[in-house]
Each structure stands twice: as C-alpha cells, then as structure tokens.
Amino acid sequence: MAIATAPASALPITYIFTGVFDDGQTADGTLSLNVYGFNSVPSTITTTTGDLTGYTYVLSIDPININNPNDTVVDFSRSVPNYYQGFLHLVFDHSLTDETANNLIANQSFECDGYDDGQGNCTGNVRYFTAGSATPAPEPATLALFGAGIAGMAMRRRKRA
C-alpha cells in the first residue's frame, strides 16, 4: 500500500543577499519570506555609499513589497528623508519561494535616489547592479544536525586513539 505525501514546503525561508553596483560599492543583508511567500522579518539590506548615499533598508521601518509569492521582483523603499524617496529594485532569475540559490538580473536591478514613476522607473539618479545573488541561509535544525555529526566523529576518533 502506497501512501501519498505532499512535498514539504520550503517556506518560511531566509536568504543571504549580496550584490555589487556599477560604481564598485556593495549591498548585503537578509531577505526573509513567511509561510505565505511574502516578505517578513528579518529583511534588511544595507547599501554602501558610492555614486549614491548608502542606506539600510529595514522591513519594520521601510516599505518592502513582493507583489505575489511567485514574483521575481522585490522592491525596498526608503522612509528617510521622505517616504518612498529612494528605493532598491531587485529582479531575480526565478521565484524566491523554492528554497534554491537565486541570481540577480543585473541590468534590471538597481538603487534609485528619486521616486518611482509608477512604472518601476527611477525619477532620480540610478546605480545598477553588476552582480548579485540570494542564497538560502542554513536552518538552525540543519546546523544542529551538522554539529552533532561533527561532534560524533570527533568522539569516535578520540575513542580509537
């Protein structure tokens, strides 16, 4: 008798994000999705100062948007100096809901110090990403299991000696 099982959900999940801008500066942080595939805490990405002033985008302070769980676009908006004046527009090569590494589409991902014109375009200065990725962060249970395995191997080796 076969028992049918549903695949385990990959959500919630946290990604480690890293990226490089065309001015040589960087962006890094975390991007988390809840069980429904929408952004959740902790989601924080920090950009360094270069052609544009660096900024730390934080979910609990700044508006962050994923339009639907299967979307490949994530938008972070600034709350300082004015709400929505400046934003980070990230376009990935596939949905973040599948728990796999995800590359940034460089020529479509950017940081803007102006406003969104309603079409996803920047009304101010822009710096584009030249590279970037979002990699799933290891789950605490996975890390604990890995640590227990290493400890067991060390104890076995010690016992043999």
Instruction: Confirm whether 1 is domain-assigned.
Output: no
Q: What is the pLDDT of residues 86-134, one digit of tens each?
A: 999 999 999 888 888 999 999 899 999 998 887 778 999 999 999 999 9
**pLDDT for the residue 18:** 97
Q: Are 29 and 17 in contact (CB under 8 A)?
A: yes
Instruction: Confirm whether 2 is domain-assigned.
Output: no
**Dist. CA 150–CA 152, nearest whole Å:** 5
**Dist. CA 121–CA 83, nearest whole Å:** 17
Parent domain of 30: 13-160
Q: How many domains does the chain have?
A: 1
The set of residues, in sequence order, having a beta carbon less than 8 Å from that of 71 and lying 6+ positions away, is: 95
Alpha carbon separation from 23 to 17, 77, 108, 126, 139 (Å, rounded): 18, 21, 16, 10, 34
Low-confidence winner among 38-52, 60-74, 105-119 (lowest mean pLDDT): 60-74
Q: What is the pLDDT of residues 1-33, one digit of tens each?
A: 444 333 445 688 899 999 999 999 999 999 998
Q: Which residue has the tokens 């065309």?
A: 22
Take residue 54 and report the two structure tokens written for it: 């660096």
Q: Residue 102: which of 44, 33, 9 has the closest Cα?
A: 33
pLDDT of 160 > 80? The answer is no
Instruction: Confirm whether 5 is domain-assigned.
Output: no
Instruction: Confirm whether 127 is domain-assigned.
Output: yes
Name the more confident of 157 and 19: 19
Low-confidence winner among 38-47, 103-112, 140-149 (lowest mean pLDDT): 140-149
